[in-house]
Every structure is written in structure tokens, then in C-alpha cells.
Amino acid sequence: MDKLESIQEEVKLDEAGKVALMQEIDQLRKEKNAVILAHYYQEPEIQDVADYVGDSLGLSQQAAKTEADMIVFAGVHFMAETAKILNPNKKVILPDLDAGCSLASSCPPESFGEFVKAHPDHVVVTYINCSAEIKALSDIVCTSSNALKIVNSIPKDRPIIFAPDKNLGKYVMKQTGREMLLWDGACVVHEAFSIDKLIEIHKSHPEAEIIAHPESEEHILQTANYIGSTSGMINYVKKYPEKEFIVATEAGILHQMQKDVPDVKLIPAPSHEDNTCACSECGYMKVNTLRKLYLCIKHERPEIDVPRTIRERALLPIERMLEISK
Ligand code: SF4
């Protein structure tokens, strides 16, 4: 075991420790021809060492076109699974297999399969935040960036099932005017936002604009000046750098926003300005750490595997989404 490997997870790394790990990760990435893909909700150091940082759509597009031999996915399990489905012959690794997702878990394959069977005439649209088994039961996948486009691409006379996120589903129904059968799933992070706290914060920052992710509940979305995916929110902030923003999504996104627009004033919702309550952080995303990322790329594990039959069935709805999103 080398010196870096012996650093205990509980030990808070100082700047020198972080730099040493980041240098090692960089070296290993070159030696192994690996690409590191990181979601905006990952901790700042992981975002800084990644080759690409993005939202689910951007990450899938990167995974689909990478020429690297190995994909190191700094995100949650369903994202790494999607990368594996798109790259069956490549090694896909995830720093911690416990990096799950409450939204994906709210849609178990067996009951969803029965739901789909009970509505055989429906087109099944699933948000990418679901397991490979659920994707395999779908006609087309979407992300929060392209959900409106995907639903609008379905002929008007076809009824639709939308799963697993009911909040995104309601938002899409409102925007497209399409009735859809919604699965009753949700994300713990986006459902934890407190409207009372949000109003309280806004009272003390009346000039601030509220920007929200469509996984948030309807009453939060009703207060928002802008609703969009994580990359949509970043682009919105870039457009109005002089403004102040209350950001209703996972707090990890603030790192990229602040990097892109250093002087912009950002306030995470619903916690107070100093964000001490950390209630807008996704515990699943934060299971990954810089140290685990280092160990993962060094030992090339834990590896993601998706059984062939599921992988083959799940590929088509993902490819349909990528085609429409070009
Ligand atoms: S923020 Fe919500 S939807 Fe995203 S990974 Fe965490 S639990 Fe899942």
C-alpha cells in the first residue's frame, strides 16, 4: 500500500494532500488512457480533476463518443450504467458502488413492469435517473435538458407514461400541454426544499432571482424566475452575471457556476446563506470522494456490469434520445 492509499477516508485532506491525490489521478488517467466524467453535483476537487463536467445529457453524450479505454464515472450508479450500456466493450468504473439515487430507487423494475403491461398502448418515456432495468422497459429516455423536446416528438394521438420523477412529469405536462400517466417517484434532495425558508431568504435578498431544477416540487417551481436543467441553470447565470441568484438544486452546482462567473452572488436554497444545514446536498453523490476516485482508477474497480439482455434492450431508448438531442 502506498502513502496515498494509506490515507484514511475520515481524515480531512489539507490542500497539499488534495494536490498530491489530484496529481496521482492525473498520472494514472494518462497511463491507462482513461477519461474521468463528473457530474455537477460531485465535490469541487472531483470536478476540478475531471476531463468533463456536465449534466446527465452531456455526460451521456461524452460517454457515447469517448475513445478512452476506460471510463471513470464520478457520479451515481445509474449514470455509470448508462455509460456501460453505450460502451459494452469498455471498462466502466465508479468510485463507490453505494452512490445510488433515491429517484432511481423509487421505481422498482417489477412493479414498473406491471404498470407498463397494464397500459400497453402507451409510449414509455423515462427520465435517465432510473436503473438499466427500467430503461430496458422504456421506449425513449430523456433528461431534464431535453424532456420537453422528447415528449413533443411523440405523435399527439399516442398516450404517454412518464417515469420515475412525478415533479419533472408535472412540469413537462404543464409546458407541453400533454396529459401523461405519471409514476409516483421523486428525488429526496429536490423534495427537501422548504418553501418557507425560500421565501424567508428571498425577503432578505429581494433582488435575487430564483432558479430551480424541474425535479423540485410545484410550489418551488412557481416561485422561480427560471426553470431548467443543471446546464440550463449554469447558462442562465452566465447570461446575467450582474444578478444575484437563489439556486434550487443540489449545492454542488455552485462550484461550476462560481468558476464560470467568479463575481456572481449565489445563494443555495433552502438553507441560509452560509449553507450550514447542507440539506441541499445529495448524500449519494457525496459518497464519492477524491480518495475513492484515486483508489478506483488505480485498482480499476469497482467495475460496472450490466447483463447483456438488459443492456441490449436499454440501448435503443438511450440512442433514440441521443439522436433527438443532436
Ligand atoms: S440529487 Fe436526487 S436525483 Fe440526483 S442523484 Fe441525488 S437523489 Fe438522485
pLDDT per position as a tens digit, 154-190: 999 999 999 999 999 999 999 999 999 999 999 998 9
Place of cell 452531456: 58
Nearest to 143, CA basis, from 99, 219, 188, 78: 78
Q: At what angle do helices 290-299 and 15-31 cross, to 10 degrees?
A: 30
For domain 15-99+284-307, which CATH number applies: 1.10.3720.10, 3.40.50.10800, 3.40.605.10, 3.90.330.10?
Answer: 3.40.50.10800
Which residue minimizes the CA distance to atom 6 of ligand 1?
282
The Å distance, Cα 38 to ligand 1 centre, comes to 14
Ligand 1 atom with the smallest distance to the CA of 129 is: 3
Atom of ligand 1 nearest to the CA of 41: 1
Q: What is residue 193's predicted lDDT score, i.e. its pLDDT?
A: 87
In sequence order, what are the residues at sequence separation of 6 or more whose Cβ sits closer than 8 angstroms to the Cβ of residue 30? none
The whole-number pLDDT of residue 278 equals 47
**Ligand 1 first shell, C-beta below 6 A:** 41, 76, 101-103, 129, 187-189, 250, 282, 284-285
Give the residue-averaged pLDDT of 195-206: 93
Q: How far apart are CA 19 and CA 8, in angstroms?
A: 16
Residue 120 assigned as binding residue: no
pLDDT digits (tens, 9 = 90+) for 214-259: 999 999 999 999 999 999 999 999 999 999 999 999 999 999 999 9
Averaged pLDDT score across all residues of the chain: 94
Rounded-to-integer distance, Cα 290 and Cα 7, Å: 11
CATH says 103-187+309-324 is which class? alpha beta
Distance 263 CA to ligand 1 centre (A): 28
Whole-angstrom CA distances from 94 to 66, 79, 261, 293 are: 17, 9, 30, 8
CATH number belonging to domain 193-268? 3.40.50.10800
Q: State in Å: Cα 282 to ligand 1 middle.
A: 6
User: Is residue 233 within 8 Å of residue 213, measured between CB atoms?
Assistant: yes
Distances (CA, A) of 33 to 45, 90, 233: 21, 11, 32
Spatial distance between the Cα atoms of 91 and 72, rounded to a whole number of angstroms: 8
Domain boundaries, the chain: 15-99+284-307, 103-187+309-324, 193-268
* pTM for this prediction: 0.93
Question: Is 90 exceeded by the pLDDT of residue 277?
Answer: no
Query: Cell 416540487 belongs to which residue?
Result: 217
Q: Give the ligand 1 atom nearest the CA of 283.
A: 6
The residue whose C-alpha atom lies closest to atom 1 belonging to ligand 1 is 282
Would 15-99+284-307 and 103-187+309-324 be classified into the same CATH topology? Answer: yes
